[in-house]
C-alpha cells in the first residue's frame, strides 16, 4: 500500500522533482532535477522512467541477476540516458538529477541512491532510520562533526551536491539491502521536505498515520504551510508494499 505526491512548493515557479510508485513491482523512486528550466524536469522524469523500466525488464526476463546488481544497473542506465540527451537550460547548463530507489521483496528492502533525496524506514519501537546518506557537502561536514543536522539544512552550501546523475559516465551508486518486517513503513522524499521538517517529526507522523494517501497529503500541506522554499515530493509505503493483493 503506497501513495506519492509532488508539489512545486511556495517559491519555485516549476517542479523539477519526479516520483514513481509501482506497487506491482514493490518499486518506488524519487528524483530531484537540477539545472534550471526545462532541463531539471526532463532529467528527473527521465531518471525515474528509465530506472523503473530496467527493473521491470529484469523482473520479466527472470535473468537471475542479483537484485543489487539490477538496481545499480538501473541507476547507471538512467545516468546514460540523461547524458545521451544533452538538453540544456536557458543559461546553457546541462541537466542533472538525484535518484533514490526503494525495491521491496518479501523480507528484504533494497535501496539504490545517488544525491540528496532520502529514504527513511520507520519500525514500531525503533528509532526512525535513514537508509540513504546525502551526497552533499554539508553532509560531509555533519559526518566530520563540524555542523549539526539543523545547521546543515540552513547552510548556504546545503544545495551543493557531491554526486548526481548527468555529469559523468562513471557513476558510483550506493546500494544497500537489509531485512524488513511486515510492520515496517518507508518514506522517500526530496530535500524540499527535509528543509521544513526534521527526522523526529517525520518519524512520529509515519508512526501515527493510518493511510499512506492521507499522510502524503498532510506532509505536503504542512510543507506548504511552512513556506516550502523548494519543490516537495513524498512517497509513503506501508509494510506489505511488495506483495500482490491476492497474497493477503
**Residue numbers at the binding site for Ca ion (CB under 5 A):** 32, 190-191, 230
For the bound state, the minimum distance from the C-beta of residue 170 to Ca ion, rounded and expressed in Å, comes to 24
Nearer to Ca ion, 78 or 104 (CB): 78
Strand spans (E) along 27-160:
27-34, 96-97, 99-105, 108-114, 118-122, 129-130
Name which of 132 and 190 has its Cβ closer to Ca ion. Answer: 190
How many Å apart are CA 230 and CA 67, to the nearest integer? 33
110: exposed, middle or buried (C-beta count within 10 Å: 0-12, 13-18, 19+)? buried
- Of 230 and 240, the one with the shorter C-beta distance to Ca ion is 230
The residue among 99 and 209 lying less far from Ca ion, judged by its C-beta, is: 99
Cβ proximity to Ca ion: between 23 and 230 the closer is: 230
Grid coordinates representing 18 are: 519526479
| Least distance between Ca ion and beta carbon 13 (Å) | 14
d(CA 186, CA 206): 8
Strand order in the sheet with 129-130: 2-7, 232-238, 185-189, 118-122, 129-130
**Least spacing, CB of residue 138 vs Ca ion, in Å:** 14
Min separation Cβ 68 and Ca ion, Å: 27
CB of 241 to Ca ion, least distance (A): 24
Amino acid at each position: 500500500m503506497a501513495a506519492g505526491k509532488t508539489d512545486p512548493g511556495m517559491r519555485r515557479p516549476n517542479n523539477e522533482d519526479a516520483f514513481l510508485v509501482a506497487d506491482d513491482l514493490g518499486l518506488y523512486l524519487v528524483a530531484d532535477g537540477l539545472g534550471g528550466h526545462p532541463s531539471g524536469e526532463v532529467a528527473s522524469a527521465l531518471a525515474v522512467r528509465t530506472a523503473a523500466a530496467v527493473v521491470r525488464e529484469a523482473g520479466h526476463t527472470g535473468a537471475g541477476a542479483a537484485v543489487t546488481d539490477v538496481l545499480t544497473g538501473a541507476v547507471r542506465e538512467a545516468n546514460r540516458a540523461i547524458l545521451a540527451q544533452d538538453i540544456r537550460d536557458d543559461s546553457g547548463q546541462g541537466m542533472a538529477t538525484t535518484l533514490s530507489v526503494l525495491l521491496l521483496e518479501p523480507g528484504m528492502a533494497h535501496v539504490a541512491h545517488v544525491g540528496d533525496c532520502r529514504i527513511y524506514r520507520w519500525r514500531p519501537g525503533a528509532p526512525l532510520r535513514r537508509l540513504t546518506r546525502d551526497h552533499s557537502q554539508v553532509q560531509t561536514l555533519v559526518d566530520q562533526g563540524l555542523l549539526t543536522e539543523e545547521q546543515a539544512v540552513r547552510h548556504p552550501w546545503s544545495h551543493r551536491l557531491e554526486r548526481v546523475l548527468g555529469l559523468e559516465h562513471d557513476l558510483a551508486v550506493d546500494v544497500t539491502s537489509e531485512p524488513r518486517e511486515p510492520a515496517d513503513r518507508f518514506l522517500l522524499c526530496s530535500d524540499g521536505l527535509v528543509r521544513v521538517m526534521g527526522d523526529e517529526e517525520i518519524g512520529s507522523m509515519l508512526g501515527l498515520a493510518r493511510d499512506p494517501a492521507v499522510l502524503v497529503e498532510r506532509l505536503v500541506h504542512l510543507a506548504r504551510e511552512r513556506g516550502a522554499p523548494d519543490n516537495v515530493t513524498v512517497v509513503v509505503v506501508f509494510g506489505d508494499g511488495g506483495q500482490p493483493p491476492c497474497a493477503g
